[in-house]
Amino acid sequence: VRAVVRAQSGKGIEVVDEPYPEARTGYVIVRIKAAGICGTDLHTYKNANHPQSQSALLRPLGHEGSGIVEEVGKGVEGFDVGNRVTFNPYASRVGGFCGVCESCLRGEPLGCTKRHLMCAGGTMAEYASIRGDALYRLPDNISFEEGAMCEPFAVGLSAVHEVAGFRTGQSLCILGPGPIGLCVLLAAKLMSPSLAIVTGLSADKSPRLELARRFGADAIVNVEEEDPVERVMEMTKGNGVDAVFEAIGVPLVHQGLSMLKFRGRFIGIGHPMWAGESEQPLIRLTVADYLNMQHRRLSLTGHWVYDTSTWVKMMDLLKAGAVDLTPLATHRLPLNDAEKGFRIASRSECVKALLIP
Ligand SMILES: [Zn+2]
Ligand SMILES: [Zn+2]
């Protein structure tokens, strides 16, 4: 079985032959049809010690994927050989949550304090062994490529609908038009926003900002040419937006807070590159920022992945044809070209690169 793993040297990746996975009790063998290269995989590629690179622990790599059920292990209900599937790598039971800590008892297994593994996967291979309770049947109208992009879309959906509590007709600004920023936009468009602004750099013009336009952004702000805070204030007649989503991996908290209206929310999604334990704080807030936050009742919220409920909702939306993820896939490469795929995925001319085994 051809598979992408972390290179022996600890730096970068390599394509190797791995044994065919065993269909253990509770697991399903999936013949992978498409696997996405994610920002966190790139952290693995550049620096394996990134604390958020759960996917760095995976062998084979990859937590985004779709495929066809090849074998069904004992104890798995609801799936048959030949089913088209995708999967939630952070599904409750996948990571081995304890079930008895306070968070687990409250029904929030993502917050489990004793969880031993957060992320499941192994999708960058011809076959992957995946827990049955993490699988979702792909609706017939959804392609394998879209299926492989469900995971990043779930991040956007969760950020907008669950964490930001975004309501119909509200306004937003997305900092960064990468795959997650664009997924946030797709999720927000489902709520008919009154104004959707996306910021980016000159290098993002094509295809990222073009795609933002196509997905229905009302305004694009090139931060190299104009001041994003001024532009947002101008467009909102000095009121600001209801929500700012940071999707770059650069914590632009000062900038984001300055764009918000009363009771606005800043949602931080991007993971910064890991530069080791730095003594310098990454985020600097002035007294004025802090007072702004207090007087205007702003909130600063962190975001990461999604809940199981997000996946159920997403599958309904996809089945209903409410959203089309296909345009996100800008590059497709055979599994053997994974190295090239990782290089492409780190560049701004790529939105989502898929490996096709
Ligand atoms: Zn991902
Ligand atoms: Zn627990």
154-168: average pLDDT: 97
334-344: average pLDDT: 96
Distance between CA atoms of residues 83 and 144, nearest Å: 12
214-243: average pLDDT: 98
What's the pTM?
0.95
pLDDT at residue 28 is higher than 90: yes
pLDDT tier, 193 (very low <50, low <70, confident <90, very high otherwise): very high
Percent of the chain with pLDDT strictly greater than 90: 77
Interval between CA 8 and ligand 1 midpoint (Å) = 23
Interval between CA 162 and ligand 2 midpoint (Å) = 21
State residue 142 phi and psi, 5-degree precision.
Answer: -105, 125
162-169: average pLDDT: 96
Listed residue (248, 226, 230) closest to 240, CA to CA: 230
CA of 109, nearest ligand number: 2
305-322: average pLDDT: 95
Question: Which of 93-97, 175-179, 181-185, 222-226 has the lowest average pLDDT?
Answer: 93-97
Interval between CA 36 and ligand 1 midpoint (Å) = 7
Tokens of 37: 């290269």
pLDDT given at position 59: 85
DSSP E strand stretches across the chain: 2-6, 13-17, 27-36, 64-72, 84-87, 127-131, 135-137, 171-175, 195-200, 219-222, 241-246, 260-268, 299-302, 329-334, 352-356
Percent of the chain with pLDDT strictly greater than 70: 92
User: How many other C-beta atoms can be found within 10 angstroms of the C-beta atom of residue 2?
Assistant: 17
173-178: average pLDDT: 98
Interval between CA 176 and ligand 2 midpoint (Å) = 34
